[in-house]
């Protein structure tokens, strides 16, 4: 398989030029070798993931999170990442999460946030239980003791800074900080950064249309 042909499929889906200025999506390691025989998908390239790739004879790792510094030993395997460009793409990170929950996107708010609206409201507990099917450690903030939800904002990863400005009843993301939670006037659901983004590997696999192996990854938090 030609690695550039594979990556071209990803960039047609999520153009690299749409990434944020601070991001470093793209080729993290790009060796002279053009042909690859085995691909590993990972959310994040860590030492453990790299060793898994070596042990399974993978010659290309495709990840969501990029590396801002690359250890010398990682030069042995090609690495490509699609991060904020995949977050922005239609059908990308947040869209994949929403689809997994069985919801449909009603509108887009800026580059990263998607909004789901309901004709008939759902209860806060119903949404809480649905989110727990994806992330058993989901946390809820409900400072005003609201009972019903007619609109939800979604941002996979760390998106709590968008919560209030979306003007929705509830907001789903990961990495919600204490002060954001304590001061929120809307319902917040923190499903975890890892849990909110790991589903994007399903989308990567569909885009590539070839056999891949998945890295054995889990959240770094212990509950």
pLDDT tens per residue, range 154-181: 999 999 999 989 999 999 999 999 999 9
The pLDDT-based confidence of 123 (bands split at 50, 70, 90) is: very high
**CATH class of segment(s) 3-85:** alpha beta
Q: What percent of the chain has pLDDT over 90?
A: 98
Q: What percent of the chain has pLDDT over 70?
A: 100
- Residue range(s) of every CATH 3.40.1390.30 domain in the chain: 3-85, 93-196
Q: Which of left, alpha, beta for 42 (phi over 0: left; psi -120 to 50: alpha)?
A: beta
pLDDT reading at 48 higher than 90: yes
Q: Which of 136, 104, 145 is nearest to 219 (CA)?
A: 136
Q: What is the mean pLDDT of residues 171-199?
A: 97
The 3-state DSSP class for residue 40 equals strand
Mean pLDDT, the chain, rounded, equals 96
Tell me how far apart the alpha carbons of residues 175 and 189 are, in angstroms, rounded to a whole number: 10
Q: Which of 87, 100, 67, 65 is nearest to 14 (CA)?
A: 87
Q: What is the mean pLDDT of residues 113-132?
A: 97
The pLDDT-based confidence of 223 (bands split at 50, 70, 90) is: confident
pTM over 0.85: yes
Contact between 77 and 53 (Cβ < 8 Å): yes
pLDDT reading at 46 higher than 90: yes
| CATH homologous superfamily of 93-196 | NIF3 (NGG1p interacting factor 3)-like (3.40.1390.30)
Q: What is the mean pLDDT of residues 1-8?
A: 97
What is the per-residue pLDDT across 72-90, written as a single tens digit (0 to 9) for each? Answer: 999 999 999 999 999 999 9
Amino acid 133: pLDDT: 96
């Amino acid at each position: 398989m030609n690695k550039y042909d594979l990556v071209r499929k990803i960039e047609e889906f999520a153009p690299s030029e749409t990434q944020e200025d601070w991001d470093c999506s793209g080729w993290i390691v790009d060796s002279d070798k053009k042909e690859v025989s085995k691909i590993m998908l990972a959310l994040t390239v860590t030492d453990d993931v790299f060793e898994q790739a070596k042990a399974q004879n993978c010659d290309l790792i495709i990840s969501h999170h990029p590396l801002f510094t690359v250890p010398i030993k990682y030069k042995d395997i090609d690495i490509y990442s699609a991060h904020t460009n995949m977050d922005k793409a239609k059908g990308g990170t947040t869209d994949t999460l929403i689809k997994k929950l069985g919801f449909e996107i009603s509108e887009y708010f800026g580059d990263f946030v998607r909004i789901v609206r309901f004709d008939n409201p759902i209860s806060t507990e119903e949404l809480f239980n649905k989110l727990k099917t994806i992330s058993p450690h989901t946390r809820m903030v409900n400072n005003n003791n609201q009972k019903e939800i007619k609109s939800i904002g979604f941002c996979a990863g760390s998106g709590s800074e968008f919560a209030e400005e979306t003007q929705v009843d509830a907001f789903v993301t990961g990495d919600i900080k204490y002060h954001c939670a304590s001061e929120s006037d809307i319902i917040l659901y923190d499903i975890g950064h890892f849990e909110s983004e790991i589903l994007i590997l399903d989308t990567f696999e569909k885009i590539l249309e070839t056999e891949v192996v998945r890295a054995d990854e889990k959240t770094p938090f212990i509950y």
